[in-house]
Amino acid sequence: MIPPFKIKSVEPIRLLPKSERIKRIKRAGYNIFKLRASSIFIDLLTDSGTGAMSQEQWSAMMKGDESYAGSESFFRFEKAVKEVLGFPFVVPCHQGRGAERVFDRVMIKAGQAVPGNTHFDTTKAHIEYRKGKAVDCTISEAFDPETDHPFKGNVDLKKLEFSLKNDDVAYVLLTCTCNSIGGQPVSMANIKAVSRLARKYKKPLFMDGARFAENAFFIKKREKGYEKKSVKTIVKEMTSHFDGMLMSAKKDAIVNIGGFIAVRDKGLYEKLSQMAILFEGFPTYGGLSGRDMEAIAQGLYEGIDEDYLEYRTSQVKYLAEKLELFGIPVLKPVGGHAVYVNGKEFFDHIPQWQFPSQTLAVELYVEGGIRAVEIGTLLAGRDPETGENIYPELDLLRLTIPRRVYTKEHLDYVAECLKKVWERRESVKGLKLIHEPKVLRHFQARFERAEDVNFEKKLRKK
Q: Tell me which residues are annotated as active site.
A: 68, 120-121, 208, 210, 251, 442
d(CA 41, CA 43): 6
- For residue 185, which of 223, 157, 156 has the smallest C-alpha distance? 223
Q: Output the CA angle 107-81-256, nearest 5 degrees.
A: 90
> What are the two backbone dihedrals, phi and then psi, of residue 390, each rounded to the nearest 5 degrees?
-90, 125
Q: Which segments of 306-450 are extended strands (E)? A: 338-342, 370-371, 373-375, 396-400, 431-435, 446-449
Cβ burial 178-197 (10 Å sphere, 16+ → b, else e) = bbbbbbbbbbbebbebbbeb
Bond into 50 cis (ω within 30): no
Q: What is the helix, strand, coil percentage profile of the chain, to 5?
A: 45, 15, 40
Residue 206 three-state SS: strand
Q: Are 117 and 294 in contact (CB under 8 A)?
A: no
CB atoms within 10 A of CB 237: 16
Contact 180, 120 (CB under 8 A): yes
Short-list 248, 282, 250, CA closest to 66? 282
Helix (H) / strand (E) element for 271: namely helix 266-279
**Which ranges in 86-156 belong to alpha helices (H)?**
96-107, 121-129
Alpha helices in 86-223 (DSSP H): 96-107, 121-129, 157-166, 188-200, 212-222
How far apart CA 262 and CA 95 sit, in angstroms, is 13
Task: Compute the distance between CA of residue 43 and CA of residue 372 in angstroms, rounded to an integer.
Answer: 7
Q: Residue 210: which of 160, 153, 159, 265 has the closest Cα?
A: 153
